[in-house]
Amino acid sequence: MNTLQIVWFILLTVLVIGFTVLSGADLGVGILRFFARNEDDQRAMLSAIGPFWDGNEVWLLAAGGASFAAFPPVYAAIFSGLYLPLMVALFALIIRAISIEFGSREQSQPARGYWGIAWAVTSTLATLLLGMALGNILRGLPLNAGGEYTGSFFGLLNPFAWLLGALNLAMLTSHGAFYLAMRAEGDLRARASRWALISWAFYLPLTVFTLFAATRYLHLARNYTGAPGWWLVPALGLLAVIFAGLWTSWQAPTAAFVASCFSVTLLLASAAIALFPLLVPALNNPALSLTAANASSTPLTLFVMLIAVIIGLPLVAIYTIWVYKVFGGKITKAGHY
Amino acid sequence: MDAVLLARIQFAGTIIFHFIFAPLTIGLAWLIVWLMARYWKRGDDASRNLARFWINLFAISFAVGVATGFAMEFQFGTNWSKYSRYVGDIFGAPLAIEVIFTFFLESIVIAILLFGWDRVSRPAHFLASVLVAIGSTMSAFWILVANSWMQTPEGYILHNGRAEMTNFLHVVFTHSMIPRLLHTVDGALVTAAFFMLGISAWFLRRGRQVESFRITFIVALVVAFLTSVGQLGTGHLSAWMVTRTQPEKLAAFEGLFKTQAYAPLTLIGIPDPAHATLRYAIRVPSGLSLLAYFRPDATIKGLDRFPPDRWPPVVWTFYSFHAMFWLGMLFIAFPLLGLFLWWRKQLYHNHAFLTAAWLLTPLPFLANELGWVTAEMGRQPWIVYHVLLTRDAVSISVPAVHVLLTTILFGAIYLTLFLFWALFFRREVSRRWEESAVEPLVKDAQ
């Protein structure tokens, strides 16, 4: 395995983390729309994510595009193998985009309410399915020698996939609630904190349970048994989860949200450590697994892409900071939605 | 049903739907740059409201474009896994670069353009409009790099059972890339200009907001004329390049079954591939040889040089090419007539012309789609020209019934999206309409 392959394994992880931390907040706020009490709640929730969700979602495109460019067989195996779940996730994301954009243009009830429900349903569905997809990738897929998925659709609905789907729902719901508690004021802020604690009460045990369940898969445990120092990463992740909850109950929503960002980052990093250098473990025969070493593009392509990322990501940071500077801060009543 | 055909239908359907909105937003973004510059300079309510009106129409289309473009990024993997694996080393790079340099830019900065009215300064707001326009045009650049590589693959070798990149600049600047980029982006400007022309005409025709819409009307008219004339040049350049790089595609454009010197230019006709003839054809003698090589005796390769199982679908390619061509002629003639009326001071109160301008609005969208069909049908049966056949590129692990199911879902969702787009479009227009009182139709001389 060469350095470029390792770098791209890490970059792909970074893009997935970037998507989950940023878009996770707006997906979570979308899920919480189910619990909105009135018109004002929905307006504030839309204002909290309205200017940002589109840019946030590009991180998923970046992860998809990077996997295509850097590890084509991985992109091919995952998207054709998880065909139906990922297609439904795409449909959900398409409808979600429209329900945010068109819903905020809607002036009257009950139409605004319908768009809000579409927004909540699609956010939930996308979160569940993306979590299940990650679960299937971690667990491994049955592959043939050509790197094609050989299982059936129902093979994707295994308990570990459901567990990761549930974890992702709990994680992003609480992440979104931490975010909303930080940005909202008054009554909504109090309720967002309560939603955060309720979803956190699922997030924490599901995290612990998933960590235990994952160690039962030999291919996920091997890096940790080989170098136990890596256990520090999931341990810190778990600590961040705990502190996110504590800070919420101590009424420090900004600290809670930062802790939540750390927890999402560290838990996904733990998953990447568990996989490395695997990208798609082959469930039927470990020798058929797609890895950073055997499934990468040529060094030239990896190098060109690396240059693009080195120039491009600082630019992304600049636009992101600009937009958060203009639209960040507390949500005011005279918001734009 | 055949899995390959279903995958092709799904891909064509999603891209054709996306390609309604993508060219409109690319072109309109530049017209908005003009309106924002105008607002920066004047800073009054009228210029602000006018810019805001067009930005709202832009935003509705941009939202649908983003939502549908999102699916496309993943469709290579879902439906074309063998393609993704075979050419990912080359094809994935421009796609990923497009995301990093353009999607982030436009998706993030659009927030400033849409909601920045009372939050950023006028120069900063203008800057946002420029960045969105650059982002959307650069997005066209990178996706056309990827597409052009499928048409005229260069800068690679076949090695280790896949295509591997040997030279990135050759991959980016393949022979057909610059002509395709110019033709597509100029087509986007034509689309946006006719869009602005048609909607402005709709207001002028009814005597509402005349002062504002006279400005967008006349600017759109001039832009429509210039960009449509530009399409003659970029279209010619594209066909000139196709002659040299994909001769069987050119032969299908023209319905040229026999290789010949003094090859004629076909204006109209009915191709009959089964009998390898073109019926009821009206031709300009030696026209094709002259256009392609500037010599009447130049030999142009006909379809007879290629085995029939490697012919593009001649009927599709021929009709879409010719329909696009004649629409292009109309797009030159119509603004020319408008400019003539303007010179005669009979433009703004000419009901027939204003109505026609409004009715013409959908046609550039149609021309864009026909151009896409011409280019992509003309590439068949190859997915990567002379490298990989389309039928060898699909996902073998996906059952045909799953493709059928998702295609139906795509169809239902996209149809719904279109209806909502139309609904919100109408609302924007009628909101603007209700803000205004009827004014008498102005005379041109004012």
Nearest chain A residue to B157 by CA distance is: A298
- pLDDT band, residue B440 (cuts 50/70/90): very low
| A91 close to B413: Cβ distance less than 8 angstroms | yes
The residue-averaged pLDDT of B1-26 equals 91
For residue B443, pLDDT over 50 is answered with: no
What's the start-to-end Cα distance of chain B, in Å? 64
- pLDDT band, residue B445 (cuts 50/70/90): very low
What's the pLDDT tens digit per position in B240-250? 999 999 999 99
For residue A336, pLDDT over 60 is answered with: no
- pLDDT band, residue A331 (cuts 50/70/90): confident
The secondary element (H helix, E strand) that includes residue A70 is: helix A53-70
| Chain A environment of B67 (Cβ under 8 Å) | 93-95, 97-98
User: Which parts of B362-434 fold into alpha helices (H)?
Assistant: 362-377, 400-434
Nearest chain B residue to A100 by CA distance is: B63
> Are the beta carbons of B96 and A69 separated by less than 8 Å?
yes
- pLDDT band, residue A32 (cuts 50/70/90): very high
What's the pLDDT tens digit per position in B286-343? 888 888 888 888 888 988 999 989 999 999 999 999 999 999 999 999 999 999 999 9
Task: Give chain A's mean pLDDT.
Answer: 91
Q: How many CB atoms lie within 10 A of CB B3?
A: 19
CA dihedral B245, B247, B249, B251 (to 10 degrees): 150
What's the pLDDT tens digit per position in B220-242? 999 999 999 999 999 999 999 99
The shortest CB-CB distance from A68 to any of B92, B100, B420 is to B92
CATH 1.20.1630.10, domain A3-327, yes or no = yes
pLDDT at B22: 94
With vertex at residue B182, the alpha carbon angle to CA B181 and CA B186, rounded to the nearest 5 degrees, is 115
For residue B148, pLDDT over 60 is answered with: yes
pLDDT at A306: 95
Q: How far apart are the C-alpha atoms of B302 and B248, rounded to whole Å?
A: 7
Q: How far apart are the C-alpha atoms of B60 and B33, rounded to whole Å?
A: 17
For residue B398, pLDDT over 90 is answered with: no
Rg (CA), chain A: 20
For residue A152, pLDDT over 90 is answered with: no
Judge if ipTM > 0.85.
yes
pTM for the full model? 0.91
Residue among B39, B105, B12, B103 at smallest CA distance from B407: B12
Interface test with B, best of A22, A26, A47, A79 (most B CBs within 10 A): A79
The residue-averaged pLDDT of B365-369 equals 96
> Are the beta carbons of B104 and A75 separated by less than 8 Å?
no
The residue-averaged pLDDT of A57-78 equals 93
Phi-psi map region of B276: left, alpha, beta (phi>0 left; psi -120 to 50 alpha): left
pLDDT at B444: 46
- pLDDT band, residue B1 (cuts 50/70/90): low
> Are the beta carbons of B63 and A98 separated by less than 8 Å?
yes
Interface test with B, best of A57, A59, A94, A153 (most B CBs within 10 A): A94
Structure tokens at A127: 């979160």
Distance from CA of A80 to the nearest CA of B (A): 4
- pLDDT band, residue B160 (cuts 50/70/90): confident
Task: Give chain B's mean pLDDT.
Answer: 90
Residue among A145, A189, A137 at smallest CA distance from A168: A137
What's the pLDDT tens digit per position in A305-320? 999 999 999 999 999 9
| A320 CB burial (10 A radius; 0-12, 13-18, 19+) | middle
Q: How far apart are the C-alpha atoms of B83 and A209, rounded to whole Å?
A: 39
Query: Number of Cβ pairs closer than 8 Å across A and B?
Result: 215
Distance from CA of B426 to the nearest CA of A (A): 13
| B220 close to B196: Cβ distance less than 8 angstroms | yes
Interface test with A, best of B17, B57, B84, B168 (most A CBs within 10 A): B84
> Beta-strand (E) ranges in B215-319?
265-272, 277-284
What's the pLDDT tens digit per position in A87-108? 999 999 999 999 998 888 887 8
Structure tokens at A238: 């778990």
What's the pLDDT tens digit per position in A266-316? 999 999 999 999 999 999 899 999 999 999 999 999 999 999 999 999 999
| Chain A environment of B85 (Cβ under 8 Å) | 72-73, 76, 147
Q: How many CB atoms lie within 10 A of CB A107?
A: 8
> Are the beta carbons of A308 and B166 separated by less than 8 Å?
no
